[in-house]
Amino acid sequence: MAAPTPLYSTDFERAIARNKRNTIILIAVLTLISGVLGYVLGWAIGILGEIWSLPSAAVAQLSAGAVIADLFGPPRPQAIIGALAMIGFGLVWGLITLYAGARILSAFIGARPADPNVLAEKRFIDVVEEMAIAAGLPPPKPMVVETEALNAFASGADPESAMITATSGILATCTREELQGVIGHEMSHVADFDVRYATVVAAMAGVVVLVQHLLLDVLRWSAWTGGPRERDDRSGGVRLVLTLVVLVIVAVVAIVAPIAVKLVQLAISRQREYLADASSVKLTRNPVGLIHALQRLQQSDTALARDTSPVAALCIAPPRRLALSDLLATHPPLADRIARLENLGGIAVPPAPEAPLHHGPWG
């Protein structure tokens, strides 16, 4: 068995400051990607209008190289408008999601407030309050999603408006010690303001993906209809070739932009999870609970949401996936996280099975 990854003494204050600083860089890069996508879209609209409106003699002088050079030449007004529109829309949507994100996500997955009259949910409420006291924060609102999947996530703009959502499956399956580790992890995201940045980043990444889908739909429509109608002159073939060049450029950007967003997210998201795991141990003073909880997640269904959903990026564990796709996962492998926790003094003994808690009245 491979030796656990070394985990050196963690300076939490410096780690949190670095985390926030890196996230600002992340948002700036995502804004830049959004601007580039809007720029190319606006450029495509502008140059296609020109290609199909120029006189035949002028079109005959154009080439594919000239079209590509135009993209990198003096910006067209449509390109500038497209870039500003995309950046503006992304920022506005990010602000809307920031202040209403927790409620939007709760409604999206059908979460409800935890019921203190249900044994498992009463314990959940108690553990949230315990971890809030340990973190010196107001207790986040405990929310529950009715599903057998094992997962949990935090959301909200700040600690005062934060929510911690857990599935009924994880509440019924985990021991109190394991639940403390899970809630400590989510409380760490709240304390580190990870939920604020993750919400904005998810919103802006969603805008890029939305525009990608729209562009691909336009490209499919163009292919189906054969593009703009040919003009009744010899330049019709040239116009079609140049239109194809523009559409290929748009297609490449539409495919590359979401991949770039994903890679930028990976640059920071994985370190966030390691930090939240270590911070959970700081709150609980016990790495064993979180180790056992992560071991349970390794062996269980964690599909609270699709991998492409913004909820998936917030969860303590992403939906189970093929090993190859772990390379593009926003979460580090659970085995790696367990190995790092072992270095904090945890013992990776598989958790003993526990009878599920019943959902009858409390008392």
Alpha carbon distance 135, 148 (integer Å) = 29
* Same-domain status, 123 and 168: yes
From 130, 178, 186, 273, active-site residue? 186
359: helix, strand or coil: coil
Q: Can you give the pLDDT of all 363 residues of the chain as single tens digits?
A: 444 444 444 455 665 676 667 667 777 787 888 888 889 988 988 888 888 888 887 877 788 888 899 999 999 999 999 999 988 887 787 777 777 777 777 877 889 999 999 999 999 999 999 999 999 999 999 999 999 999 999 988 788 889 999 999 999 999 999 999 999 999 999 888 777 777 666 666 667 777 767 666 666 665 554 454 444 455 567 888 888 888 888 888 888 887 877 777 676 667 788 889 988 998 999 899 999 999 999 888 888 766 656 677 788 887 765 433 555 566 788 888 998 888 875 454 555 555 455 444 333
The CATH number of the domain holding residue 162 is: 3.30.2010.10
Q: In a 10 Å sphere around its CB, with 0-12 CB exposed, 13-18 middle and 19+ buried, how is residue 353 labelled?
A: exposed
Classify residue 7: in a domain, yes or no: no
* Same-domain status, 278 and 160: yes
* Same-domain status, 189 and 283: yes
Alpha carbon distance 157, 195 (integer Å) = 7
Residue with tokens 């932009």: 257
Phi, psi of 142 (to 5 degrees): -75, 130
* Same-domain status, 190 and 111: yes
Contacts of residue 39, defined as CB under 8 A and 6 or more positions apart, other chains included, come to: 75, 79, 80, 82, 83, 86
CA 266 centroid distance within chain = 10
* Same-domain status, 64 and 152: no
**Cα angle vertex 15, ends 10, 18, to 5°?**
155
DSSP-derived letter for residue 316 is S
230 is catalytic: no
Classify residue 146: in a domain, yes or no: yes
Classify residue 355: in a domain, yes or no: no
Amino acid letter, residue 220: R
Classify residue 149: in a domain, yes or no: yes
Token output for 327: 């390379």
Domain total in the chain:
2
Alpha carbon distance 299, 229 (integer Å) = 57
Query: Domain containing 146: what range?
Result: 107-195+270-342
Classify residue 60: in a domain, yes or no: yes
* Same-domain status, 26 and 156: no
* Same-domain status, 177 and 277: yes
